[in-house]
């Protein structure tokens, strides 16, 4: 297991400069590897051939809960069953895993989540283990170059520790909050999910390569994969835009959006789940703007109807 001290030294990583770059499209200028944010800009690299970029959708089992737990003023009864979406991008410059689902330990240990288990009733079978699912598209965990958790809650960062040879790309504030939560925000983190990222040696804190972001990242420096910090659901939530040739820019929202209606009707989530309520509304507005101006679309993690309609791996979007 290779250890690196500094978060911003990932190979081939380019730091995106401004949020405006993402707002106005792709092919943005980006700062070169190792340059601090705000340093002299280098021209964008040649674009990835977006015809070779494929997006695969999966679910890490199911949760059963009241819709009102997710959407403000929605009913708590009858309960609904929602997917736990995660995504893989096959990319010529390195495959990316966006979110990691529920910890596979739940398959054999229903107490892994403690009290959250009763609240969300996760249903997991051996077939949904993340390595079993990656096999459907011919990948092993070692074929994942970058793991990008939208945030580190138990149903998104659950398996983040199962990719020791990948680079983890996470907002620094999210990692800090997962390990030492701000008052009122700790319920949905399972510390055992996160601990594999921490080195047992005292010299370097990270057990594997990590990029600790404090903003946005143009992952390959060519606009094909944009990681966008957006503080809403949690202190370090991030969304990811995948530039697909046929489908167009596709925004993976994590829990900044639960259901399509949040964006389409401007409906807030249950505010108990909002670290920064205003952040949801600006996120919804940004997504609507991207849809109107860039022909973008979006996928969430927990929308049962959208998930049903979505292609599932091994089918893909390109
Ligand atoms: Zn969450």
pLDDT at 39: 36
Q: Cα of 60 to ligand 1 centre, how many Å?
A: 14
For 9-46, b/e burial (b = at least 16 CB within 10 A) is ebeebbbbbeeebbeeebbbbbbeeeeeeeeeeeebbe
- pLDDT score of 48: 60
Q: For residues 25 and 45, which has the higher predicted lDDT (pLDDT)?
A: 45
Q: What is the rounded average pLDDT for all residues in the chain? A: 87
For residue 280, the CA-to-ligand 1 centroid distance in Å is 13
Cα 100 to averaged position of ligand 1 atoms, centre (Å):
12
Q: What is the pLDDT of residues 184-229, one digit of tens each?
A: 899 899 999 999 999 988 788 899 999 999 999 999 999 999 999 9
**312 CA to middle of ligand 1, Å?**
22
pLDDT band, very low/low/confident/very high, at 265 (cuts 50, 70, 90): very high
Give me ligand 1 centre to Cα 188, in Å.
7
C-alpha angle 174-154-281 in degrees, rounded to nearest 5: 55
Query: What average pLDDT score do residues 269-276 get?
Result: 88
Q: Is residue 254's pLDDT more than 60?
A: yes
Give yes or no for residue 40 having a pLDDT over 90.
no
Averaged pLDDT, 71-91: 95
- Average pLDDT score over residue span 9-34: 35
Counting residues of the chain whose pLDDT is more than 70, the rounded percentage is: 84
d(CA 40, CA 223): 18
C-alpha of residue 128 to centroid of ligand 1, in Å? 19
Q: Residue 62 C-alpha to ligand 1 middle, in angstroms?
A: 14
What pLDDT does residue 200 have? 86
Phi, psi of 159 (to 5 degrees): -105, 20
Distance 207 CA to ligand 1 centre (A): 24
Predicted pLDDT at 20: 34
Neighbours of 96 (CB within 10 A): 27
Residue 30 Cα to ligand 1 middle (Å): 30
Task: Centre a 10 Å sphere on the Cβ of residue 212 and count the other Cβ atoms it contains.
Answer: 19
pLDDT at 23 over 60: no
Domains of the chain: 15-28+49-309 (3.60.15.10)
pLDDT at 33: 38
Q: How do residues 231-246 score in pLDDT, each as one tens digit? A: 999 999 999 999 999 9
Phi then psi for 242, rounded to 5 degrees?
Answer: -110, 120
CA of 232 to the centre of ligand 1 (A): 10
The residue ranges of DSSP E strands in the chain, in sequence order, are: 15-16, 30-31, 54-65, 80-90, 95-98, 144-148, 167-171, 210-213, 217-218, 225-229, 238-244, 248-252, 297-299
**pTM, rounded to two decimals:** 0.85
Q: pLDDT tier at 47 (50, 70, 90 boundaries)?
A: low
Q: 28 CA to middle of ligand 1, Å?
A: 30
- pLDDT value of position 172: 97
Determine the average pLDDT of the residues in 50-59.
91
Task: Specify the pLDDT at position 50.
Answer: 67
The predicted-structure confidence for 169-186, as pLDDT tens digits, reads as follows 999 999 999 999 998 899
Pairwise pLDDT comparison (133 vs 27), residue with the higher score: 133
Instruction: Name the token pair of 300.
Output: 């969430």
**Distance (Å, rounded) from C-alpha 149 to C-alpha 239?**
9
Where does the pLDDT of residue 49 fall: very low under 50, low under 70, confident under 90, or very high at 90 and above?
Answer: low
- Residue 137 CA to ligand 1 center (angstroms) comes to 26
Q: In 3D, which of 212, 199, 166, 173 has the Cα closest to residue 6?
A: 212
Find the 305 Cα to ligand 1 centroid distance in Å. Answer: 19
């Amino acid at each position: 297991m290779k250890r690196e001290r500094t978060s911003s030294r990932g190979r081939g990583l380019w730091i995106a400069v401004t949020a405006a770059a993402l707002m106005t499209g792709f092919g943005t200028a980006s700062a070169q590897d190792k340059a601090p944010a705000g340093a002299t800009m280098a021209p964008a690299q040649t674009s990835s051939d977006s015809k070779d970029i494929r997006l695969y959708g999966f679910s890490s089992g199911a949760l059963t809960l009241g819709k009102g737990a997710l959407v403000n003023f929605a009913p708590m009864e009858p309960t609904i069953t929602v997917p736990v979406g995660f995504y893989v991008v096959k990319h010529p410059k390195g495959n990316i895993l966006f979110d990691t689902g529920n910890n596979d330990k739940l398959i054999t240990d229903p107490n892994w989540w403690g009290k959250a288990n009763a609240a969300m009733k996760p249903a997991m079978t051996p077939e949904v283990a993340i390595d079993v699912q990656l096999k459907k598209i011919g990948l092993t965990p070692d074929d994942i170059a970058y793991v990008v958790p939208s945030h580190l809650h138990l149903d998104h960062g659950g398996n983040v520790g199962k990719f020791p040879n990948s680079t983890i790309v996470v907002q620094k504030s999210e990692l800090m909050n997962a390990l030492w939560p701000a008052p009122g925000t700790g319920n949905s983190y399972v510390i055992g999910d996160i601990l594999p990222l921490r080195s047992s040696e005292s010299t370097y804190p990270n057990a594997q390569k990590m990029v600790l972001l404090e903003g946005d990242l143009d992952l390959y420096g060519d606009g094909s994969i944009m990681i966008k910090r957006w503080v809403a659901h949690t202190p370090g939530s991030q969304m990811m835009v995948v530039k697909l040739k046929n489908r167009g820019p596709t925004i993976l929202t994590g829990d900044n959006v639960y259901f399509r209606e949040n964006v389409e009707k401007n409906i807030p989530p249950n505010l108990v789940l909002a670290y920064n309520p205003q952040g949801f509304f600006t996120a919804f507005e940004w997504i609507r703007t991207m849809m109107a101006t860039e022909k973008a679309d979006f996928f969430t993690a927990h929308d049962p109807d959208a998930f049903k309609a979505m292609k599932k791996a091994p089918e893909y979007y390109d």
